[in-house]
Chains A and B, each alone.
Chain A
């Protein structure tokens, strides 16, 4: 059985939901602690959301220097699938595994909503079970969610197909070009602000096609990586 690590930093909030999503997808969830100096042989890593180190300095800035991050950066550069969700995405940008950064939402309010996204790259380790252009609904909840990068970086991301998710219907935080999530050139590292791990089980997710709270559009992030590992 595939073993997927879920990292807990001080201030991480969504590690248990992420571990649950991993198990629902059919893999073993392995808890990784911020002070761990090795990855316990996991096949992939999820950096979950929350407010690691209280978002002191900048969101994700202190986490980048946690011992476990050194291991994750090395492994990611060797091809280990890594998914950063919300604060985990912020950590990935601070660690320079993904370009750009997140600043405060343009309207300055915390946002919490069921967000429609388009899936624009289905060749990554975390999206291969989606259809190109598919619209999915997953929760979005953050304060510092406005994705920014310089125009050259944005053009590169677009030109190389590295915009993986884009906000649809509304841009909830002022992100440049409606970008909700991106990948590295190799497609093994993906980061996004919305929370797929909160949309993996009927009864607990956003509203879906079969009624209130039936949405499970996030589950295929986690099945995707299992298929990427065996494929």
Chain B
């Protein structure tokens, strides 16, 4: 069994209210090192067989057509999670 990870982030020009709230909370908890936070989404797509180039292409297409909304989000990474095979 294989696993593909699709990472989706809010577009840089879109204000990220959730990330802003997290950025506000961090210093209050003693983490003053971080100047900003942006919050995105990680999707893990599992397949029964190996992760082929076709699977990766399909994952990218799904990322762009369904998992993200191109008006407000970008698919920033699509890659095989090689650790996934350990637990298969």
Contacts and interface: CB of A to CB of B under 8 A. Distances in A.
B72 A103 contact: yes
A48 to B, nearest CB: 21
A104 B18 contact: yes
A57 B71 contact: no
Contacts of B71: 93, 99-101, 148-150
A34 to B, nearest CB: 17
Contacts, number: 37
Interface residues of B, number: 12
B21 interface: yes
Interface in B20-67: 21, 66-67
Contact of B14 (A57, A61, A99, A103): A103
Interface in A137-154: 146, 148-150
Given A148-B14, A174-B15, A108 B21 contact: yes
A100 B71 CA distance: 6
Nearest to B68: A58
A108 B69 contact: no
A108 B17 contact: yes
Interface of B: 10, 13-15, 17-18, 21, 66-67, 69, 71-72
Interface of A: 57-58, 61, 65, 93-94, 99-101, 103-108, 146, 148-150, 174
9 contacts: A57-B67, A58-B69, A61-B69, A94-B69, A99-B71, A103-B14, A106-B15, A149-B71, A150-B13
